[in-house]
Structure 1
Amino acid sequence: MVSGNKATIDPEAKNLTLVNVYEVESGRQAELVAALSEATESTIRHQPGFLSVSIHSSLDGKKVVNYAQWASKEHFEGFIKKPETQEQLKTFAGLAKSVAPGLYRVDAVHAQ
């Protein structure tokens, strides 16, 4: 969910969460982060049902995690079925050694 300009993780929200873990060759992490960020700004964030994307880089330089929130599974599936989305996914996969996507719900949040 997005509150103001900040993404929030809320177990009460009925959003769909995509967690996509990319394993990258040494030296390609920044390139993948840039590609994900550019695609999100130019097209993904304008899709129906899009809520947020957070992109994380592992400190060892070997992984990138894309944490995306969508209003519903139907919104996400509509986005994924688009030919232009498939082309973007191929570009991202081409920058990685492996890709491990998964769809999740938020069950609990514990914070200070």
Structure 2
Amino acid sequence: MQPNLSKDDRIEAGDVVLVNVVQVEPGRQDLALDVLRDTVRYVARSYETFCWSRLYRSLDGATVINQALWKSRDEFETLFSDEEFLKRYNGLREAGTWEYHLYELSDLILPEQDTVPSGALVD
């Protein structure tokens, strides 16, 4: 059981987490995000074992990260034979270069239930 997590945030045994890091060319961070948004929306409509994706932009404008949860590694790997997916995803070439890896959950570390986060106001 993973306390303090919404149902959508829970990662279970057998789930696969994608972490895709895009090194963007100067001024191309928004383009990379647009390409990923379009691609992920297509994936969300088309693949049953896709659960969610989170897109992150670095504060320095140099990278974008796509973190996604899949229930099936096999279905994830079929993406690369999907012509529509490839057409969308390859738009990243205009924004920069990227590298992705697949992960499984190793550890979940949460704050103690009765601790107060640093900087929090206490009455």
> Normalising by the residue count of structure 2, what TM-score does the alignment of the two structures yield?
0.76
**C-alpha separation in 1, matches of 2:14 and 2:39:** 25
**C-alpha separation in 2, matches of 1:104 and 1:90:** 22
Q: Paired residue for 1:66?
A: 66
**C-alpha separation in 2, matches of 1:93 and 1:20:** 14
Please tell me whether the aligned partners of residues 9 and 109 of structure 1 are also in contact (alpha carbons under 8 angstroms): no
Please tell me whether the aligned partners of residues 35 and 88 of structure 2 are also in contact (alpha carbons under 8 angstroms): no
> One-letter code of the match for 1:101?
Y
Q: Paired residue for 2:121?
A: none
Q: Paired residue for 1:40?
A: 40
Aligned-pair CA distance for 1:92: 1.7
- Between the two structures, name the one with larger relative contact order (CA 8 Å, sep ≥ 6): 1
Identity of aligned residues (%): 26
Greater gyration radius: 2
1:111 equivalent in alignment to 2:110? yes
Aligned-pair CA distance for 1:80: 2.6
Q: Paired residue for 1:84?
A: 84
Please tell me whether the aligned partners of residues 55 and 64 of structure 1 are also in contact (alpha carbons under 8 angstroms): yes
> One-letter code of the match for 1:102?
H
Q: Paired residue for 2:17?
A: 17
Aligned-pair CA distance for 1:45: 0.6
Q: Paired residue for 1:75?
A: 75
* SS class of match (1:45): helix
**C-alpha separation in 1, matches of 2:107 and 2:88:** 31
Mean CA deviation greater in 102-111 or 32-41: 32-41
Mean CA deviation greater in 60-69 or 71-80: 71-80
Deviation track 1:60-95 (CA, whole Å, cap 9, x = no partner) reads: 100001101111111101223211112122112331
Runs of 4+ in structure 1 over 6 Å off: none
Aligned-pair CA distance for 1:40: 1.9
| Number of aligned positions between the proteins | 105
> One-letter code of the match for 2:100?
P
Q: Paired residue for 1:26?
A: 26
> Normalising by the residue count of structure 1, what TM-score does the alignment of the two structures yield?
0.83
Aligned-pair CA distance for 1:111: 1.6
Unaligned 5+ runs, structure 2? 1-5, 112-123
